[in-house]
Amino acid sequence: MNELKNSLDSKYMNINYIDLCSGIGGFRVAIEDFQNESSNINFNCVLSADIKQDAIDTYNLNFNEHNEKCDIYSLEVEKVKPFDLLCAGFPCQPFSTAGQRKGFSDDRGGMIFKIMELCKYHKPKYILLENVYNLLTIDGGKCIQTIIQLFEELNYNVYYEKLNSKDFGCPQSRERVYIICTLNKCLDFDKLFTLSSKKVLRDVIDYNDKTSNIDANFIQKLIKLAKNREIQGCKISDKRGGDNNIHSWELEYNGHITNDEINLMNSIMLERRKKHWATKKNITWMDGMPLTYEDIQTFFKHDALREMLNNLVSKKYLRFEKCKDLINGKRVYKEDSESGYNICKGKLSFPISKILHPNDISPTLTATDSNKLAVIIDNQVVRTLNTLELIRICGFPDHYKIPEHVNSYDLFGNMATPPVIKELLKLLFN
Protein backbone atom coordinates (compact mmCIF):
# COMPACT_ATOMS: atom_id res chain seq x y z
CA MET A 1 0.00 0.00 0.00
CA ASN A 2 2.82 2.43 0.89
CA GLU A 3 4.55 1.63 -2.38
CA LEU A 4 1.34 2.46 -4.28
CA LYS A 5 0.93 5.76 -2.35
CA ASN A 6 4.53 6.75 -3.07
CA SER A 7 4.00 5.96 -6.74
CA LEU A 8 0.90 8.17 -6.87
CA ASP A 9 2.63 10.97 -4.96
CA SER A 10 5.53 10.94 -7.41
CA LYS A 11 3.12 11.79 -10.22
CA TYR A 12 1.77 14.76 -8.32
CA MET A 13 3.68 17.96 -8.95
CA ASN A 14 3.94 20.84 -6.47
CA ILE A 15 5.01 24.11 -8.05
CA ASN A 16 5.96 27.10 -5.94
CA TYR A 17 5.91 30.31 -7.92
CA ILE A 18 6.53 34.03 -7.55
CA ASP A 19 4.39 36.65 -9.28
CA LEU A 20 6.50 39.76 -9.91
CA CYS A 21 5.11 43.03 -11.28
CA SER A 22 1.91 41.17 -10.54
CA GLY A 23 -0.49 43.96 -11.53
CA ILE A 24 -4.08 42.84 -11.10
CA GLY A 25 -3.17 39.17 -11.35
CA GLY A 26 -3.25 38.15 -15.00
CA PHE A 27 -0.64 35.43 -14.42
CA ARG A 28 -2.35 34.21 -11.26
CA VAL A 29 -5.79 34.00 -12.88
CA ALA A 30 -4.23 31.87 -15.62
CA ILE A 31 -2.37 29.67 -13.13
CA GLU A 32 -5.46 29.04 -10.99
CA ASP A 33 -7.57 28.32 -14.06
CA PHE A 34 -4.96 25.90 -15.36
CA GLN A 35 -4.69 24.23 -11.95
CA ASN A 36 -8.47 23.71 -11.83
CA GLU A 37 -8.21 21.76 -15.08
CA SER A 38 -5.14 19.75 -14.02
CA SER A 39 -5.38 16.70 -11.82
CA ASN A 40 -1.70 16.38 -11.00
CA ILE A 41 -0.33 19.88 -10.37
CA ASN A 42 -0.65 22.08 -7.32
CA PHE A 43 0.55 25.67 -7.61
CA ASN A 44 1.47 27.69 -4.55
CA CYS A 45 2.20 31.42 -4.74
CA VAL A 46 5.06 32.22 -2.33
CA LEU A 47 5.48 35.86 -3.36
CA SER A 48 3.45 38.43 -5.27
CA ALA A 49 4.87 41.90 -5.64
CA ASP A 50 3.88 45.20 -7.22
CA ILE A 51 4.39 48.88 -6.52
CA LYS A 52 1.07 50.28 -7.71
CA GLN A 53 -1.48 50.58 -4.90
CA ASP A 54 -4.65 50.23 -7.02
CA ALA A 55 -3.29 47.04 -8.58
CA ILE A 56 -2.32 45.68 -5.14
CA ASP A 57 -5.78 46.42 -3.74
CA THR A 58 -7.38 44.61 -6.68
CA TYR A 59 -5.04 41.65 -6.37
CA ASN A 60 -5.67 41.35 -2.64
CA LEU A 61 -9.44 41.51 -3.11
CA ASN A 62 -9.51 38.70 -5.68
CA PHE A 63 -6.93 36.37 -4.14
CA ASN A 64 -7.64 37.00 -0.45
CA GLU A 65 -4.18 38.29 0.29
CA HIS A 66 -2.78 41.19 2.29
CA ASN A 67 0.11 42.37 0.16
CA GLU A 68 1.63 45.81 0.60
CA LYS A 69 3.69 47.84 -1.85
CA CYS A 70 6.87 46.02 -2.73
CA ASP A 71 9.73 47.52 -4.70
CA ILE A 72 11.14 44.50 -6.47
CA TYR A 73 14.56 46.15 -6.69
CA SER A 74 14.69 46.04 -2.87
CA LEU A 75 14.08 42.29 -2.64
CA GLU A 76 16.91 40.38 -0.95
CA VAL A 77 17.22 37.35 -3.19
CA GLU A 78 18.41 35.01 -0.45
CA LYS A 79 15.34 35.83 1.68
CA VAL A 80 12.85 34.99 -1.08
CA LYS A 81 11.31 31.55 -0.52
CA PRO A 82 12.52 28.90 -2.98
CA PHE A 83 10.40 28.78 -6.12
CA ASP A 84 10.07 26.61 -9.23
CA LEU A 85 8.39 29.14 -11.53
CA LEU A 86 8.96 32.87 -11.94
CA CYS A 87 6.26 34.96 -13.63
CA ALA A 88 6.63 38.62 -14.46
CA GLY A 89 5.01 41.19 -16.70
CA PHE A 90 7.97 43.50 -16.22
CA PRO A 91 7.56 47.22 -17.01
CA CYS A 92 6.81 47.84 -20.65
CA GLN A 93 7.30 51.64 -20.81
CA PRO A 94 11.01 51.48 -21.67
CA PHE A 95 10.15 49.40 -24.73
CA SER A 96 6.71 50.72 -25.75
CA THR A 97 5.98 52.96 -28.74
CA ALA A 98 3.79 54.97 -26.37
CA GLY A 99 6.91 55.85 -24.36
CA GLN A 100 10.36 57.00 -25.43
CA ARG A 101 11.64 53.44 -26.04
CA LYS A 102 14.84 53.89 -24.02
CA GLY A 103 15.19 50.15 -23.33
CA PHE A 104 17.75 49.25 -20.70
CA SER A 105 18.78 52.91 -20.32
CA ASP A 106 15.44 53.54 -18.60
CA ASP A 107 15.56 52.68 -14.87
CA ARG A 108 12.48 50.50 -15.32
CA GLY A 109 14.19 48.60 -18.12
CA GLY A 110 16.68 47.31 -15.56
CA MET A 111 13.97 45.18 -13.95
CA ILE A 112 15.01 42.29 -16.17
CA PHE A 113 18.42 42.24 -14.45
CA LYS A 114 16.78 41.92 -11.03
CA ILE A 115 14.77 39.02 -12.41
CA MET A 116 17.98 37.40 -13.60
CA GLU A 117 19.57 37.94 -10.19
CA LEU A 118 16.68 36.04 -8.59
CA CYS A 119 16.98 33.26 -11.17
CA LYS A 120 20.73 32.96 -10.75
CA TYR A 121 20.32 32.42 -7.02
CA HIS A 122 17.20 30.21 -6.94
CA LYS A 123 17.51 28.39 -10.26
CA PRO A 124 13.79 27.98 -10.94
CA LYS A 125 12.92 25.31 -13.50
CA TYR A 126 10.60 27.63 -15.40
CA ILE A 127 10.48 31.34 -16.23
CA LEU A 128 7.55 33.04 -17.96
CA LEU A 129 7.85 36.72 -18.92
CA GLU A 130 5.58 39.12 -20.81
CA ASN A 131 6.28 42.47 -22.46
CA VAL A 132 5.27 44.67 -25.41
CA TYR A 133 6.24 43.32 -28.82
CA ASN A 134 8.46 46.37 -29.43
CA LEU A 135 10.97 44.67 -27.15
CA LEU A 136 11.97 42.70 -30.24
CA THR A 137 13.05 45.80 -32.19
CA ILE A 138 14.56 48.12 -29.56
CA ASP A 139 18.15 49.06 -30.43
CA GLY A 140 17.99 47.02 -33.60
CA GLY A 141 17.04 43.84 -31.72
CA LYS A 142 19.96 44.09 -29.27
CA CYS A 143 17.68 44.23 -26.21
CA ILE A 144 16.06 40.86 -26.82
CA GLN A 145 19.38 39.31 -27.84
CA THR A 146 20.95 40.54 -24.60
CA ILE A 147 18.12 39.01 -22.58
CA ILE A 148 18.49 35.69 -24.40
CA GLN A 149 22.24 35.65 -23.94
CA LEU A 150 22.07 36.37 -20.21
CA PHE A 151 19.54 33.60 -19.57
CA GLU A 152 21.53 31.17 -21.70
CA GLU A 153 24.57 31.96 -19.56
CA LEU A 154 22.47 30.68 -16.64
CA ASN A 155 22.01 27.42 -18.62
CA TYR A 156 18.40 28.05 -19.61
CA ASN A 157 16.77 27.07 -22.85
CA VAL A 158 15.23 30.33 -24.07
CA TYR A 159 12.19 30.70 -26.29
CA TYR A 160 10.25 33.76 -27.30
CA GLU A 161 7.08 34.25 -29.32
CA LYS A 162 4.95 37.22 -30.34
CA LEU A 163 1.34 36.29 -29.59
CA ASN A 164 -1.94 38.16 -29.96
CA SER A 165 -4.77 37.81 -27.45
CA LYS A 166 -7.34 37.78 -30.29
CA ASP A 167 -6.11 34.26 -31.16
CA PHE A 168 -6.84 33.00 -27.65
CA GLY A 169 -10.49 33.86 -27.12
CA CYS A 170 -10.24 37.58 -26.32
CA PRO A 171 -12.00 40.15 -28.53
CA GLN A 172 -8.99 42.45 -28.32
CA SER A 173 -5.93 42.90 -30.50
CA ARG A 174 -3.15 42.83 -27.92
CA GLU A 175 0.23 41.77 -29.27
CA ARG A 176 2.83 40.86 -26.67
CA VAL A 177 6.14 39.04 -26.67
CA TYR A 178 6.39 36.10 -24.28
CA ILE A 179 9.79 34.84 -23.13
CA ILE A 180 9.90 31.31 -21.72
CA CYS A 181 12.97 29.79 -20.12
CA THR A 182 13.39 26.18 -19.03
CA LEU A 183 16.26 24.36 -17.38
CA ASN A 184 15.69 20.91 -18.81
CA LYS A 185 12.58 20.91 -20.96
CA CYS A 186 12.40 21.58 -24.71
CA LEU A 187 9.25 23.28 -25.98
CA ASP A 188 7.40 22.79 -29.23
CA PHE A 189 5.42 25.93 -30.07
CA ASP A 190 3.67 24.10 -32.87
CA LYS A 191 1.62 22.52 -30.09
CA LEU A 192 0.42 25.91 -28.82
CA PHE A 193 -3.36 25.92 -29.10
CA THR A 194 -5.09 28.88 -30.70
CA LEU A 195 -8.76 29.30 -31.49
CA SER A 196 -9.86 29.12 -35.11
CA SER A 197 -13.10 31.00 -34.40
CA LYS A 198 -12.55 34.45 -32.89
CA LYS A 199 -14.68 36.21 -30.33
CA VAL A 200 -16.01 39.63 -31.26
CA LEU A 201 -17.27 42.45 -29.10
CA ARG A 202 -20.89 41.36 -29.53
CA ASP A 203 -19.98 38.28 -27.45
CA VAL A 204 -18.92 40.36 -24.44
CA ILE A 205 -20.94 43.61 -24.57
CA ASP A 206 -23.21 44.09 -21.57
CA TYR A 207 -26.43 45.02 -23.39
CA ASN A 208 -28.29 45.42 -20.08
CA ASP A 209 -26.22 48.48 -19.22
CA LYS A 210 -28.03 51.43 -20.81
CA THR A 211 -26.58 54.12 -18.56
CA SER A 212 -24.54 56.66 -20.48
CA ASN A 213 -21.67 58.58 -18.91
CA ILE A 214 -21.08 60.81 -21.93
CA ASP A 215 -22.18 64.40 -22.35
CA ALA A 216 -25.77 64.38 -23.65
CA ASN A 217 -25.11 67.14 -26.18
CA PHE A 218 -22.25 65.14 -27.68
CA ILE A 219 -24.44 62.02 -27.89
CA GLN A 220 -27.17 63.96 -29.67
CA LYS A 221 -24.67 65.13 -32.27
CA LEU A 222 -23.44 61.56 -32.78
CA ILE A 223 -26.94 60.10 -33.08
CA LYS A 224 -27.88 62.84 -35.56
CA LEU A 225 -24.83 61.97 -37.65
CA ALA A 226 -25.70 58.26 -37.41
CA LYS A 227 -28.91 58.89 -39.37
CA ASN A 228 -26.81 59.72 -42.41
CA ARG A 229 -23.83 57.35 -42.07
CA GLU A 230 -22.51 54.29 -40.25
CA ILE A 231 -20.66 55.49 -37.14
CA GLN A 232 -19.93 52.15 -35.43
CA GLY A 233 -16.28 51.33 -35.95
CA CYS A 234 -15.40 55.00 -36.51
CA LYS A 235 -12.65 56.98 -34.81
CA ILE A 236 -13.38 60.51 -33.63
CA SER A 237 -10.39 62.68 -34.43
CA ASP A 238 -9.52 65.67 -36.58
CA LYS A 239 -6.04 64.40 -37.41
CA ARG A 240 -6.80 61.92 -40.20
CA GLY A 241 -9.14 61.55 -43.15
CA GLY A 242 -10.90 58.44 -44.44
CA ASP A 243 -14.36 56.94 -44.14
CA ASN A 244 -13.70 55.57 -40.66
CA ASN A 245 -13.00 58.99 -39.13
CA ILE A 246 -15.50 61.42 -37.68
CA HIS A 247 -14.37 65.05 -37.44
CA SER A 248 -15.46 67.84 -35.12
CA TRP A 249 -16.78 69.86 -38.04
CA GLU A 250 -19.01 66.99 -39.18
CA LEU A 251 -20.52 66.92 -35.71
CA GLU A 252 -20.57 70.72 -35.52
CA TYR A 253 -18.98 70.06 -32.15
CA ASN A 254 -17.96 73.70 -31.63
CA GLY A 255 -20.97 75.28 -33.28
CA HIS A 256 -22.41 75.62 -36.76
CA ILE A 257 -20.13 76.15 -39.75
CA THR A 258 -20.93 76.44 -43.43
CA ASN A 259 -20.38 73.82 -46.13
CA ASP A 260 -17.56 75.97 -47.52
CA GLU A 261 -15.90 76.01 -44.11
CA ILE A 262 -16.29 72.24 -43.84
CA ASN A 263 -14.59 71.85 -47.22
CA LEU A 264 -11.82 74.18 -46.04
CA MET A 265 -11.27 72.08 -42.88
CA ASN A 266 -11.10 68.90 -44.96
CA SER A 267 -8.54 70.50 -47.27
CA ILE A 268 -6.33 71.71 -44.42
CA MET A 269 -6.50 68.31 -42.72
CA LEU A 270 -5.25 66.58 -45.88
CA GLU A 271 -2.60 69.16 -46.80
CA ARG A 272 -0.96 69.75 -43.40
CA ARG A 273 0.90 66.42 -43.43
CA LYS A 274 2.48 66.72 -46.88
CA LYS A 275 6.26 66.68 -46.77
CA HIS A 276 6.85 69.59 -49.10
CA TRP A 277 5.53 71.95 -46.41
CA ALA A 278 8.19 70.70 -44.01
CA THR A 279 10.86 71.33 -46.63
CA LYS A 280 9.56 74.81 -47.29
CA LYS A 281 9.50 75.70 -43.58
CA ASN A 282 12.88 74.06 -42.81
CA ILE A 283 11.33 71.60 -40.37
CA THR A 284 13.27 68.38 -39.83
CA TRP A 285 10.41 66.68 -37.99
CA MET A 286 7.03 66.68 -39.60
CA ASP A 287 3.66 65.45 -38.41
CA GLY A 288 1.04 67.97 -39.44
CA MET A 289 2.04 71.59 -39.33
CA PRO A 290 0.37 74.98 -39.37
CA LEU A 291 -0.14 76.47 -42.82
CA THR A 292 -0.12 80.21 -43.49
CA TYR A 293 -2.83 82.13 -45.30
CA GLU A 294 -0.56 82.20 -48.37
CA ASP A 295 0.02 78.42 -48.11
CA ILE A 296 -3.71 77.73 -47.96
CA GLN A 297 -4.40 79.99 -50.92
CA THR A 298 -2.36 77.62 -53.12
CA PHE A 299 -4.87 74.77 -52.68
CA PHE A 300 -8.12 76.45 -51.55
CA LYS A 301 -9.55 79.39 -53.45
CA HIS A 302 -12.33 81.47 -51.88
CA ASP A 303 -13.13 85.18 -51.83
CA ALA A 304 -13.85 85.04 -48.09
CA LEU A 305 -10.91 82.79 -47.15
CA ARG A 306 -9.50 85.14 -44.50
CA GLU A 307 -12.90 85.57 -42.82
CA MET A 308 -13.52 81.83 -42.89
CA LEU A 309 -10.16 81.09 -41.26
CA ASN A 310 -10.75 83.67 -38.53
CA ASN A 311 -14.23 82.26 -37.85
CA LEU A 312 -12.83 78.73 -37.55
CA VAL A 313 -10.17 79.96 -35.11
CA SER A 314 -12.78 81.79 -33.01
CA LYS A 315 -14.87 78.60 -32.78
CA LYS A 316 -11.73 76.55 -31.99
CA TYR A 317 -11.89 74.31 -35.04
CA LEU A 318 -8.48 75.75 -35.92
CA ARG A 319 -5.69 77.32 -33.89
CA PHE A 320 -3.24 79.97 -34.98
CA GLU A 321 0.26 78.92 -33.99
CA LYS A 322 3.92 78.64 -34.94
CA CYS A 323 5.55 75.49 -36.31
CA LYS A 324 7.08 72.93 -34.01
CA ASP A 325 10.37 71.15 -34.50
CA LEU A 326 11.88 68.16 -32.74
CA ILE A 327 14.63 69.29 -30.36
CA ASN A 328 16.34 66.71 -28.12
CA GLY A 329 13.38 64.40 -28.50
CA LYS A 330 10.79 67.06 -27.60
CA ARG A 331 8.38 69.04 -29.78
CA VAL A 332 9.29 72.69 -29.36
CA TYR A 333 7.77 75.78 -31.00
CA LYS A 334 10.06 77.19 -33.68
CA GLU A 335 10.07 80.85 -32.66
CA ASP A 336 11.54 82.11 -35.95
CA SER A 337 8.74 80.47 -37.96
CA GLU A 338 5.70 82.25 -39.36
CA SER A 339 2.42 81.46 -37.59
CA GLY A 340 -0.23 79.54 -39.46
CA TYR A 341 -3.50 77.65 -39.10
CA ASN A 342 -3.60 74.13 -37.69
CA ILE A 343 -6.07 71.46 -36.63
CA CYS A 344 -7.03 71.72 -32.97
CA LYS A 345 -8.23 68.35 -31.83
CA GLY A 346 -6.66 64.92 -31.61
CA LYS A 347 -8.50 61.77 -30.58
CA LEU A 348 -8.14 62.48 -26.86
CA SER A 349 -9.82 65.87 -27.22
CA PHE A 350 -13.29 64.32 -27.41
CA PRO A 351 -15.41 62.53 -24.79
CA ILE A 352 -14.74 59.33 -26.77
CA SER A 353 -12.08 58.45 -29.34
CA LYS A 354 -13.71 55.48 -31.05
CA ILE A 355 -17.13 53.85 -31.37
CA LEU A 356 -16.50 50.11 -31.36
CA HIS A 357 -18.27 47.92 -33.89
CA PRO A 358 -19.97 44.89 -32.29
CA ASN A 359 -18.82 42.61 -35.10
CA ASP A 360 -15.19 43.65 -34.66
CA ILE A 361 -12.66 43.37 -31.85
CA SER A 362 -11.30 46.02 -29.54
CA PRO A 363 -8.00 47.76 -30.26
CA THR A 364 -5.29 47.30 -27.67
CA LEU A 365 -6.49 48.66 -24.35
CA THR A 366 -4.07 51.21 -22.91
CA ALA A 367 -4.01 53.12 -19.66
CA THR A 368 -4.28 56.44 -21.54
CA ASP A 369 -7.30 55.99 -23.77
CA SER A 370 -9.25 52.81 -22.95
CA ASN A 371 -11.69 55.08 -21.08
CA LYS A 372 -12.55 56.71 -24.41
CA LEU A 373 -13.72 53.56 -26.22
CA ALA A 374 -17.50 53.50 -26.60
CA VAL A 375 -20.34 51.23 -27.66
CA ILE A 376 -23.88 51.97 -28.89
CA ILE A 377 -26.79 50.20 -27.19
CA ASP A 378 -30.15 49.97 -28.98
CA ASN A 379 -29.07 52.63 -31.48
CA GLN A 380 -29.64 55.38 -28.97
CA VAL A 381 -27.42 54.97 -25.89
CA VAL A 382 -23.73 55.78 -26.33
CA ARG A 383 -21.46 54.92 -23.41
CA THR A 384 -17.91 53.96 -22.65
CA LEU A 385 -16.92 50.37 -21.91
CA ASN A 386 -18.03 49.30 -18.45
CA THR A 387 -16.00 47.25 -15.99
CA LEU A 388 -17.64 43.94 -16.88
CA GLU A 389 -16.83 44.51 -20.56
CA LEU A 390 -13.22 45.35 -19.73
CA ILE A 391 -12.98 42.16 -17.69
CA ARG A 392 -14.32 40.06 -20.56
CA ILE A 393 -12.28 41.80 -23.29
CA CYS A 394 -9.11 41.03 -21.34
CA GLY A 395 -9.97 37.38 -20.71
CA PHE A 396 -10.69 37.61 -16.99
CA PRO A 397 -13.65 35.68 -15.50
CA ASP A 398 -16.96 37.46 -14.92
CA HIS A 399 -16.64 37.01 -11.16
CA TYR A 400 -13.43 39.04 -11.08
CA LYS A 401 -13.90 42.07 -8.82
CA ILE A 402 -12.60 45.62 -9.10
CA PRO A 403 -12.57 47.81 -5.95
CA GLU A 404 -14.85 50.83 -6.25
CA HIS A 405 -12.05 53.33 -5.58
CA VAL A 406 -9.75 52.26 -8.41
CA ASN A 407 -9.57 53.28 -12.07
CA SER A 408 -10.42 50.08 -13.95
CA TYR A 409 -9.35 51.58 -17.30
CA ASP A 410 -5.84 52.13 -16.00
CA LEU A 411 -5.70 48.63 -14.53
CA PHE A 412 -6.78 46.81 -17.67
CA GLY A 413 -4.46 48.91 -19.81
CA ASN A 414 -1.54 47.41 -17.90
CA MET A 415 -2.40 43.75 -17.42
CA ALA A 416 -1.21 40.40 -18.69
CA THR A 417 -3.79 38.36 -20.62
CA PRO A 418 -4.83 35.15 -18.75
CA PRO A 419 -5.98 33.00 -21.73
CA VAL A 420 -2.63 33.44 -23.49
CA ILE A 421 -0.67 32.63 -20.34
CA LYS A 422 -2.83 29.60 -19.66
CA GLU A 423 -1.96 28.09 -23.04
CA LEU A 424 1.74 28.72 -22.37
CA LEU A 425 1.39 26.94 -19.03
CA LYS A 426 -0.08 23.95 -20.86
CA LEU A 427 2.97 23.98 -23.10
CA LEU A 428 5.23 24.02 -20.06
CA PHE A 429 3.55 21.44 -17.86
CA ASN A 430 1.57 19.03 -20.06
For the segment 144-169, what is each residue's pLDDT rounded down to a tens digit? Answer: 999 999 999 999 999 999 999 999 99
Closest of 319, 317, 296 to residue 306, by C-alpha: 296
Tell me what the pLDDT averaged over the chain comes to. 89
With CA atoms as reference, report the closest residue to 21 among 137, 136, 112, 133: 112
159 and 262 inside one domain:
no
In a domain, 387, yes or no: no
Q: Read off the pLDDT of residues 10-39 as tens digits, 9 standing for 90 and up.
A: 567 899 999 999 999 999 999 999 999 987
Q: How would residue 99 be classed by pLDDT, with cut points 50, 70 and 90? A: very low
Active-site residue, selected from the candidate residues 92, 119, 170, 323: 92
**What percent of the chain stands above pLDDT 70?**
93
The CATH number for 338's domain is: 1.10.10
Do residue 297 and residue 412 come from a single domain?
no
pTM above 0.95, yes or no: no
Q: How far apart are CA 372 and CA 151, in angstroms?
A: 40
**Are 177 and 304 part of one and the same domain?**
no
Find the length of the chain.
430
3-state secondary structure of 50: coil
Q: pLDDT band at 286, cuts 50/70/90? A: low
296 class by beta-carbon count within 10 Å (0-12 exposed, 13-18 middle, 19+ buried): buried
Confidence (pLDDT) at 6: 45
**Residue 389 resides in a domain:** no
Each as own residue / partner, the long-range contacts of residues 115-119 (CB below 8 Å, 24 or more positions apart, any chain) are 115/20, 115/86, 115/88, 115/90, 116/150, 116/151, 116/154, 117/77, 118/18, 118/75, 118/77, 118/80, 118/86, 119/86, 119/151, 119/154, 119/156, 119/181
For residues 260 and 178, membership in a common domain is answered with no
- Residue 131 pLDDT > 50, yes or no? yes
In a domain, 231, yes or no: no
Among residues 324, 345, 366, the one where a domain terminates is 345
- In the chain, the number of structural domains is 2
Do 22 and 136 have their domain in common? yes
- Parallel/antiparallel/unpaired status of strands 13-20 and 85-88: parallel
Note the pLDDT tens digit of each residue in 329-366. Answer: 788 888 888 999 999 887 678 999 999 999 999 999 99
258 in a structural domain: yes
The pLDDT value given to residue 141 = 87
Domain that holds residue 299: 238-345
- Return the SS3 of 320: strand
pLDDT at 284 over 50: yes
- Considering the domain boundaries, does residue 14 fall inside one? yes
Whether the predicted pLDDT of 371 surpasses 90: yes
CA 360 to chain CA centroid, nearest Å: 17
- Is the domain of 242 the same as that of 100? no
pLDDT tens-digit readout, 372-393? 999 999 888 999 999 999 999 9
CB contact at 8 A, 98 and 57: no
- Which CATH number belongs to the domain containing residue 75 in this structure? 3.40.50.150
Same domain, 129 and 261: no
Question: Do 367 and 410 contact (CB within 8 A), yes or no?
Answer: yes
242 and 341 fall within a common domain: yes
Are 102 and 163 contained in the same domain?
yes
Residues 6+ apart with CB under 8 A from 381: 210, 211, 212
Out of 329, 345, 361, a domain closes at 345
92 is catalytic: yes
